[in-house]
Amino acid sequence: MVFRPPLPAVPAERQEIDLDVDVLFGAVPSRDLDASIGAVDEQLSSHGIRRGLVCSLRGGLFDACSGNDEMRKATEQTGHVPVGTVDIRDALTAEEEIVRLAASGVRLLRLFPVEQWVEPDSPGLAHVIEVATASGLTLLTSGDVSRFWRPFSGTRVCFLDVHSYRVADFVVLARREPGFVASTRMLVGPDNIERIAGEVGTDRLAYGSRAPLHDVMPSALRLRTARLTEQEWRQVAGGTATGWLGDGS
């Protein structure tokens, strides 16, 4: 018989995570996965996550305009927070889409440089970041922070792929970049969350799961058992992301 140690006890006050900054929905090519907004909403709820910052897979991988329309409809139906996206490879069309998103009240723009095969030194990426920042949007981005940090210098951005192996790199960057935030999705090492919190503060951390493409439980359990004060825990579990919305929601 294989011995399986019990899961760590989770305090009752940590059962609900207020905001998940890394949520997708829509068709997933070549995978037998229900990623409809209804299924995603149910998945988040089953793990005690109240709301997600939701972006359309169609928008990120196929067509930004129709994907953003799909995203607005889905978030209006569910109460999740709308997150737009653009095709970085077509920075001229992206200009117009960013203006349209901002005019409609969207406050967050998710970029997919890795998935769209965009290099960190791409002129298009730099231009999209500049236009989005000028439009008052907070940025979320995929990509290794050690490679992609430079074009985001001086902006307010959440790096969604900060790995346990990049904790020190992130801390060094965050010390001089007040707008840099790390998602906790891949910070599942024994002291990753605590080390960043101790070095630069919990306002540099935001909970993310990448539902439904990734299993939610490991990231949620790691956050719930993090060695943080309750005030620090609430900051990571929703306070940091709430600050990006600018309306107290």
Tell me the whole-structure pTM to 2 decimals. 0.94
What is d(CA 158, CA 143) in angstroms, rounded to the nearest whole number? 11
What is d(CA 113, CA 232) in angstroms, rounded to the nearest whole number? 31
At a CB cut-off of 8 Å and minimum separation 6, what does 153 contact? 177
pLDDT of residue 3: 52
pLDDT of residue 28: 76
What is d(CA 233, CA 164) in angstroms, rounded to the nearest whole number? 19
pLDDT of residue 248: 44
pLDDT by residue, tens only, the chain of 249 residues:
555 555 567 888 899 999 999 999 998 776 778 899 999 999 999 999 999 999 999 999 999 999 999 999 999 999 999 999 999 999 999 999 999 999 999 999 999 999 999 999 999 999 999 999 999 999 999 999 999 999 999 999 999 999 999 999 999 999 999 999 999 999 999 999 999 999 999 999 999 999 999 999 999 999 999 999 999 999 999 999 999 997 545
For residue 195, which phi and psi values (nearest 5 degrees)?
-70, -45
Contact status, residue 79 vs residue 90, Cβ threshold 8 Å = no
Domains assigned to the chain = 16-245 (3.20.20.140)
